[in-house]
Amino acid sequence: MSVKEPPVVLEEPAPERRRLADSQPATTVDRLKDNLYYLRGRGALEISGVYLAIVIGFVVTSLVNPAGFAFLNSNNLSGVLSQNIPVLAILAIGAGVLMIAGEFDLSIGATIGLCGVVFIRTANSAGWPVAFAATVAVGIAVAVINGLIVVSTKIPSFIATLGMSFFWTGVSIYVNGNTPATFFPGVRTDTMVNLMAGNYGYFRSQLVWLVVVGIAAWFLLHRHRAGNKVFAVGGNAAAAAAVSIKPKAVRLQAFAFLGVMVGIASSLYVARTSGMQPGTTESYTLLAIAAAVVGGCSLTGGRGSVTGMVVGGALILTIENGLVLGNAPGFYVQLFLGVAIVIAAVFNKFMEGKAT
Amino acid sequence: MSTLLGLEGVSKNYGPNTVLKDVSFQIGKGEVVGLLGDNGAGKSTLVKIMSGVVSMSSGRYVWDGEEVNRVSRPETERRGVETIFQDSALVPTMSITRNIFAGREITNRFGFLKLRAMDAITTEILDSVVAIEGIRSAKQLVSSLSGGQAQAVAIARAVHFKRSLLILDEPTSALAVRATEALLNYLVQLKSEGVSSVLVTHNLHHAYKVCDRHIVMNHGRKILDTTREDTSVEELTAAVVEGAEGVKRFRQGKPLA
Ligand SMILES: Nc1ncnc2c1ncn2[C@@H]1O[C@H](COP(=O)(O)OP(=O)(O)OP(=O)(O)O)[C@@H](O)[C@H]1O
Ligand SMILES: [Mg+2]
C-alpha cells in the first residue's frame, strides 16, 4: 500500500472531547474515594453497614442491661458467635462462589454429614491431621461429582444437586450406620482442640480459620484470574466462551472450591461437636445459600463478593443470637430470622440497580 | 498481496436450514474487506466461522497457506484473530477493564491481577481508537454503559488483542458520527501495520470509503467479490438490494429497478 490514503471525514470536525485519562483520580485520597464509589451497589458495602448498625445496637443494649441481654458476655462471644459464624461463613463463601459461577449446590448439608463421618472415622484410625486431609479430599470429590453431573447433562444444578443430596445422606448412613459417629477416647488431642475449637476467652480458634480462609478466598475471587473467569462465566457464558474461557471447566472449578470449603467447615464442625449423626446437618444448605444471597450474591450468577458472603453469614447468626438473648420463644426465632433474611435479600436486590 | 485467510467451499446448516452455501473467498494481508448483504444473508454466520466460535458444516479454513483442521476459538486467538461481535459479547456485571481482559488478564507469575496496569491500558485505548463520549472510568460496570459505549468497549478489546485479523460485525451500528469516523480511520491506518480487517456494515458509503475489496452475500451465497476500483456504491447497492439479478442488470447498464 504505497499510496497515502486520505483520511475519512464524515462531517466537520467536532470540538475536542473530554478524555477519559483526564478524569482519572490523581491523589491517593481521590483514588480511595473513586474505589469506594465503585463499591456501591455490589452488596458488600451496604450489608456491612446494616450489620454494623445491628452490632452497635446489640452492644449498646448489652452495656445498658448486661444481665438481661448478655451479648458482650465472653461466653456468648466465644461460645456462640465465634463458634457458629465461622462454620456458616465458610460454607457461604463456597456456596456464594458457586452462585457467582451461575450454579447451586443443594447437597451442602448432606455433604457435611458425609465429611463429618469421614473426619471422625479417619481420626479414630489415623489421627486428626490425616482426617483433615481426607475430609477436604472427600468434600472436593463429592462436589466435583455433583459438578460433573451438572455440566455434562445440562440438568439445572438445582434439581441435580437436590437429588444428590439424598444420595450423599444415603452414602453417609451406608458408611457409618445409624448410630452417631463419635471420637474414640484420646483421639481429640489437645493440639487438635486448640487448633480447631480452642477457647481463647472472647473468641475461639474457628475465627482464625475464617480470617485465613476469607482472605485467601477474597484474593482468589477478586484479585486472581481464576476469580475473574468465575465472574465472566456466571455473568455471560457465551461472551466468556468467545474469549476462550471454558465455561464447563470454570463451573467445575467452582464446584471443587465449594468442596474445599465444605471439607474445612465440616472438620471445624465435628471438632467442636465431637459427633456426627448423618441426616442432621441438612439445614446448613439453605442457611449457606441464604447467607450468600443476604451478602449480595445474585441468584442468576455474575454478582457477589467474599466480604458480602461472610457478613451475610454473620448477620443471620447475630440476629438469631440476639433473638435468643432477648428470650424470644423458639418459634419467634424462626419467624424473625425468616423475615430478616427476606428483607436483606430484597434490600440487596434493590441495591443491585444502583451499581455503577 | 499474499493471502492471510482463505475460506474454500464453506457451507453451514442449522438442522434442515442451510444458511451458507459453498462460500469461498480470500483475505489478503493488510487488506480491508467489506462483507455486505441484506439482513439474514449469512454475514454474521461467516464472521463466527472465521472467529472459530461456530463450526462449519463443510469446507476448508486455510490460514497463511495451511489448512486448519479443527477451527476453534483458542486456535484463532493464537493466530491473532479478534472479533467485534454484532451482539458485543460483553459481561454486563463486570467492569470495563475486567471485560476487556477477561480470560487474558495481565497478572504476576502467580496469576494475581495487575489491575492498575490493565486500567491504564483500557483508558489509553478508549481515548485513542474509539473516541467515545461519556465513559467516566475504566471501573464502571458494562451494565451502566449506553449501547454505543458498550460497543466501544468491545471495539477496544478487539483492537488491543488483534495481531493479524480484525473482524468487525456492524461495529458502528450504535456509534455517533465522530466515533464512527475515528474507527473507520483506524481501519485505514491498520493497513500500514499489515493487519487485515473484515468490515460488516449496512452503510455502503462507509464500506466503499475504507474497503479495498467488497464481498456481497445473498441468501447464504456469495454473489459479488470485487475490488474497489471495479465497483461503485451504486453497484453495491444493486447487489445488496436485488441480489445476483441486480448485479447482472447493473453490469448490462440498466438502471436500478
Ligand atoms: N443459531 C442459529 N440457528 C438457526 N438459524 C440461525 C442461527 N444463526 C443464524 N441463523 C439463520 O441464519 C441466517 C443468517 O444469519 P446471519 O446472522 O448470518 O445473518 P446476517 O447476514 O448477519 O444478518 P444481519 O444483517 O441481520 O445481521 C438467518 O436466516 C438466521 O435466521
Ligand atoms: Mg449479522
pLDDT in tens, A147-200: 999 999 999 999 999 999 999 999 999 999 888 999 999 999 999 999 999 998
Domains and CATH numbers, chain A: 80-179+189-355 (1.10.3470)
Nearest-angstrom CA–CA distance, B149 and A20? 12
> ipTM score here?
0.89
- For chain B, the domain total comes to 2
Considering CB atoms only, which of B93, B104, B107 is closest to A243?
B104
Q: Are B146 and B245 in the same domain?
A: no
Tell me the CA distances in angstroms from B105 to A90, A243, A317, B109, B193, one per residue in order: 27, 11, 38, 11, 25
Q: Are B145 and B197 in the same domain?
A: no
Q: List the one residue out of B4, B5, B23 whose CA is nearest residue B13.
A: B23
Nearest-angstrom CA–CA distance, B181 and A344? 48
Q: Are B172 and B223 in the same domain?
A: yes
The pLDDT value given to residue A168: 97
User: Whose C-alpha lies nearest to ligand 1, atom 7?
Assistant: B14
User: Whose C-alpha lies nearest to ligand 1, atom 19?
Assistant: B40
pLDDT digits 0-9 by tens, B132-158 = 788 888 999 999 999 999 999 999 999
Nearest-angstrom CA–CA distance, B257 and B255? 6
Q: Are B38 and B146 in the same domain?
A: no
Cell 441468501 locates to: B219
Contact of B68 with chain A, judged by CB distance below 8 Å, is answered with no
- Let me know if residue B10 belongs to a domain: no
Contact of B143 with chain A, judged by CB distance below 8 Å, is answered with yes
Boundary residue ending a domain (B142, B161, B180): B161
- Let me know if residue B3 belongs to a domain: no
The pLDDT value given to residue B113: 96
Radius of gyration of chain B (CA): 19
- What DSSP letter does each residue of chain B carry, written as one string? --EEEEEEEEEEEETTEEEEEEEEEEEETT-EEEEEESTTSSHHHHHHHHHTSS--SEEEEEETTEEESS--HHHHHHTTEEEE-TT----TTSBHHHHHHTTS--B-TTSBB-HHHHHHHHHHHHHHTS--S----TTSBGGGS-HHHHHHHHHHHHHHH-SSEEEEESTTTT--HHHHHHHHHHHHHHHHTT-EEEEE-S-HHHHHHH-SEEEEEETTEEEEEEEGGG--HHHHHHHHHHTHHHHHHHHTTPPP-
Contact of B220 with chain A, judged by CB distance below 8 Å, is answered with no
- Let me know if residue B96 belongs to a domain: yes
- Let me know if residue B247 belongs to a domain: yes
Three cell numbers, residue A214: 476469607
Q: Are B241 and B174 in the same domain?
A: yes
What are the residues whose beta carbons fall under 8 Å from the beta carbon of A41, sequence distance 6 or more? A351, A352, A353, A354, A355, A356
pLDDT digits 0-9 by tens, A260-276 = 999 999 999 999 999 99
Nearest-angstrom CA–CA distance, A220 and A289? 20
- Hey, what amino acid is at B50? M
Residue range(s) defining the domain that contains residue B136: 92-161
Q: Are B168 and B238 in the same domain?
A: yes
The pLDDT value given to residue A45: 86
pLDDT over threshold 90, residue A353: no
Q: List the one residue out of A99, A148, A47, A150 whose CA is nearest residue A285.
A: A99
Q: Are B256 and B183 in the same domain?
A: yes
Q: Are B118 and B177 in the same domain?
A: no
Q: Per mean pLDDT, which range of A244-253, B148-157, B199-208, B242-251 is the poorest?
A: B242-251
- Let me know if residue B192 belongs to a domain: yes
Round the average pLDDT of chain B to a whole number and report it: 92
Q: Per mean pLDDT, which range of A213-217, A300-304, A336-340, B96-100 is the poorest?
A: A336-340
Contact A303 B93 (CB under 8 A): yes
Cell 454473620 locates to: A314
Contact A223 B177 (CB under 8 A): no
Nearest-angstrom CA–CA distance, A47 and A42? 10
Boundary residue ending a domain (B138, B161, B184): B161
The pLDDT value given to residue A305: 94
CB B127 within 8 A of CB A21: yes
Q: Are B116 and B133 in the same domain?
A: yes
Q: Are B74 and B188 in the same domain?
A: yes
pLDDT over threshold 50, residue A1: no
Neighbour count for residue B5 (Cβ, 10 Å): 24
Q: Are B76 and B120 in the same domain?
A: no
Nearest-angstrom CA–CA distance, A272 and B122? 50
Boundary residue ending a domain (B104, B134, B161): B161
Round the average pLDDT of chain A to a whole number and report it: 90
- Let me know if residue B14 belongs to a domain: no
Contact A232 B107 (CB under 8 A): no
Q: Are B156 and B172 in the same domain?
A: no
pLDDT over threshold 60, residue B46: yes
- Read off the CATH number of the domain in which B185 is found: 3.40.50.300
- Let me know if residue B85 belongs to a domain: no
- Let me know if residue B20 belongs to a domain: no
The answer, yes or no, to whether any atom of ligand 1 lies below 6 A from the CB of B171, is no
